Amino acid sequence: MSATPSTSSGADSTMSARSRESLSGWLFSAPSLTLLTIFLIVPFALAIGLSFTNQRLISPLPTTFVGIDNYVAVFSDGVFWRALVNNVTFAAVVVPVQTALALWLAVLVDRPLRGMKVYRTIYFMPVVSVMAVAATVWKLLYEPDSGAVNGLLGLVTGGALQPDWLRSTAWALPAIIIMSIWQGVGFQMIVILAGLQGIPQVLYEAGEVDGATRWQKFRHITLPQLRNTLIFVVTVTAILAFRLFDQVYVMTNGGPRNATQTMLLQMVEVGFSQQRIAQGSAIAVVFFVIVLSITFVQRRLLREEREIT
């Protein structure tokens, strides 16, 4: 009969401990949740509301509800579709090329050789550089007459190929792509390198016993073991590709003739330069939906991978 009070007391102490842990968790999370609410959730909620109005940045006219007029204007704008195509083209080139290059670099530096840490640092250095500074440097490198890029191409091709990179509608976007791959490949390399170092060496030893070649070990051991890592890298790179803004703003400002226009750049131009904050908010909502869709695809792929394994 005396066991009941002690059992009840033990359950109460367990619940109390859990309550204290839960309270501690919420207290530790409170600063981050507050900042997310103030700087992310509230502004986005306001953007959704403004996208259904005629709000301008500076205007004496009263704010009125206009329904989906801003979204109709966005999807009827040829510049928006050009920006979307540029974002998709940028992602379609950067994601596979940067991922493949990062995988190659990660395999290259995943060796116990002297000085390998120096090479890892060199490959990672562009990532820690400020994008605006890196874009400014590359803008100078792309100068048609005095830039190092055309100087090198002139030596290799005998002067046959020396494009006006940032002023040509054909070469401006490729110039942005090359610069972006150089700046971002180090991040993907580090992530893939961490995945490589997590592969059990016993798998490679078993492959050697079976007489597998280096390529066979890479194809049948390395790539399958890196599947989750590569899915993460591809998804993050795709999201970052759609967030393309800094280098375009510094190097071309969307030109020439919208050849490098992006969704974020158009959102800033429409919302602030043209002061049509309501239509800029509509662009922001559309951009959010696109990025959210990419995130859902990532979660679905990762969930399927966990179910398979």
Domain ranges of the chain: 1-50, 72-308
Give me the pLDDT at residue 97, please.
95
Model pLDDT for residues 77-123, shown as the tens digit of each residue: 999 999 999 999 999 999 999 999 999 999 988 877 777 888 888 88
Give me the pLDDT at residue 1, please.
46
Report, as ranges of residue numbers, the positions in the chain whose pLDDT lies below 70. 1-15, 302-309
DSSP code for 253:
T
For the chain, the first-to-last Cα distance in angstroms comes to 49
pTM: 0.85
Q: Cα(245)–Cα(268) distance, rounded to whole angstroms?
A: 10
Fold of 72-308: MetI-like fold (1.10.3720)
Model pLDDT for residues 181-198, shown as the tens digit of each residue: 999 999 999 999 999 988
Give me the pLDDT at residue 60, please.
80
Give me the pLDDT at residue 185, please.
92
Give me the pLDDT at residue 12, please.
60
Give me the pLDDT at residue 279, please.
93
H helix intervals, the chain: 3-36, 42-50, 69-75, 78-109, 116-128, 131-141, 148-157, 172-197, 201-209, 214-217, 223-225, 227-242, 246-251, 263-268, 277-308
Q: Report the chain's mean pLDDT, rounded to a whole number.
A: 86
Q: Cα(58)–Cα(287) distance, rounded to whole angstroms?
A: 24
Give me the pLDDT at residue 34, please.
93
Exposure class string for 24-63: b at 16+ Cβ within 10 A, else e: eeeeeeeeeeeeeeeeeeeeeeebeebbbbbbbeeeeeee
Give me the pLDDT at residue 292, please.
86
